[in-house]
Structure 1
Amino acid sequence: MSDPCSGELRARVPRCLLDPRAPAPATSHGDGWQAVHLRWREARLQQVQPLPEPSDLSAPLVLPTFCEAHAHLDKVFTWREHPNREGSMDGALAANMQEHGLRTAEAVHARANAALERAWHYGVRAIRSHVDSLGPGAAASWDALTTLRRQWRGRIELDLVAMVPLDQWSTPAGVALADRVAAAAGCWAAWSALPFRAIPVVAAA
């Protein structure tokens, strides 16, 4: 049986992903594709060799894995029970607060795990997620997401970011939260005021 962690492949890649210092082969495809020969060993890419022949548009397309830099895994798939039909910031905050008051670790785990399954299927390998970290649903969110971070390690890397009002960090509860975030190898974030309100724009005369 062949070793799936080692092998080689003729494929096409976007030219912009190759070493910009290397001269572009004269046969680089007009749409930016480049034919390459890939070699990997022990699941590590060893060589990306541009090929002199034109890129075959039927060849496999190889891309880096994707990174989702801004997610809210603690409240994915909550629209059905807590919709924001107005499509406004106030409506989003009201729906979020309603859901947050009913949040359980089991519900967060099930919803977020479903989101991670989809992300994995579509090539995402790292996600940075804010986590509501103040109020009745905060502990449930951290319980579920730190468990998922451990369960998905090696497939999707989860970067968890505690989100609370700025002055919360100077309270005893904020210090305890900071300890929990540090134990989970997470990050801190804060906002200065809520709710956000639209600022009326007055046209100049």
Structure 2
Amino acid sequence: MQDQEATARLSAEALAAGDPTGWFERLYTEAERGDSTVPWDRESPHGLLVEWATARELSEAGRRALVVGCGYGRDAEYLGRLGFATTAFDISPTAVRVARERHPGSPVTYVTADLLDPPADWRRGFDLVLESMNVQALPPRVREAAFGAVGEPVAPGGTLLVIAAGREDEEDPPAAPPWPLTRGEIDAFGRSGLTPVRVEDLRDTGILRWRAEFHRPA
């Protein structure tokens, strides 16, 4: 509950100030002081990522991966262990710094970057792009731009994997983030020339989650 209160408070203040993504850095700095906790701070990589990778027996030495909104690096470190040359970014400088501190000697490259204004050389530069539970934390006007931006770094022949909380089309979105995504919003990740491979509607104890795989033709 404290986690939800912090995200609701900080996101509302950021939206009111016209800075819809500024609350991420504020949350991480508050967490570092012990005044808040980061709701998505976990010790292990996301289970839906691990399940997906295990089913494909991924071992990807020499291939490049990009992790969107990496936070403290749990998913990025997992992809690094699989052999991907992994770059992980977050809009929060504090999150990036703490990720480096938590994983000394890591092969993962952690950088501060904005999804909507990324380095030019990232375009079409990665064999795997992972978007896990990030776009759902963005307000509608930013989220619309993010759908296409997430797929831009996927190289020809590459894959985008999206993991997100879900809601039915007729459900009203909650007042504060995260805002679970509808099926139509999941489909929107294909806007940058990607082809849907598989969109999984996963329900655990009645809670809808999406795992969606997209491919860029070679």
* TM-based fold match above 0.5: no
The structure richer in helix per residue is 2
Normalised TM-score (structure 1): 0.31
Largest Rg, 1 or 2: 1
Normalised TM-score (structure 2): 0.30
